[in-house]
Amino acid sequence: MASARPGAPDELRSLQEFGNSARFLYGEDNLTDPAEAARWLIAHELVPRGFTLDEQELARLVRFRETLRDHLDGAEVTAALNEFAAAAVAGPRWSPDGPGLRPTGEGADDLIARLLDALFRAEITGQVRRLKPCKAPECRWLFYDRSPAGNSVWCTMEICGARHKMRAYRSRH
């Protein structure tokens, strides 16, 4: 089950879609087989039709997904992000949409560069602080926090929030 929350706006949507390629709460991961991963990425409009992956590129995408989730959760992963950027990004570019990062190549690195570009822009504008992984360690679903104070921590109160409250209740009694 996906979150009932509305999706992230604009450029953050690609980060949210990619980050949610795994639903750990339900034991699902769309990035386990190269052919299936390519189909999923195409279906979610993250890559163009005809996109293919090999095992090495797939492993790189999975590492990037988890680095992205960790980064959005506040973990110190700047070295890993810089490693991805060094391999996937050729440098800044200016376009009618504003400044951005230019990909170095094709395939997985092109996707990683476009996602890093979206992350870079969102960090500059401050929008990224509202894209969060659910605090439930067994979930980590990315959601866009639209609460006025920006302090939501669960993808849904009905599932993850309720489970947390029930655990807290049981530990007190």
**How many structural domains does the chain have?**
1
Residue 141 is assigned to a structural domain of this protein = no
Tell me what pLDDT residue 1 has: 47
pLDDT digits (tens, 9 = 90+) for 11-40: 899 999 999 999 998 999 999 999 999 999
* Residue 112, in any domain of the structure: yes
Would you say residue 46 lies in a domain? yes
Residue 157 lies in a domain: no
How many helices (H) and strands (E) are present in the chain, helices listed first? 6, 6
CB within 8 A of 114, min separation 6: which ones? 14, 103
Q: Is residue 135 part of a domain?
A: no
pLDDT at position 5, please? 85
Domain that holds residue 85: 12-129
- In which residue ranges of the chain is pLDDT below 70? 1-3, 161-170
Q: What confidence score (pLDDT) does residue 163 get?
A: 67
pLDDT computed for residue 99 by the predictor: 87
Q: Are 159 and 135 in contact (CB under 8 A)?
A: no
Indicate the pairing of strand 89-95 with strand 98-103.
antiparallel
Q: What is the CATH number of the domain that holds 54?
A: 1.10.3300.10
Predicted local confidence at residue 170, as pLDDT: 67
In this prediction the pTM is 0.90
Instruction: Please indicate, yes or no, if residue 3 is contained in any of the structural domains.
Output: no
Structural domain includes residue 25: yes
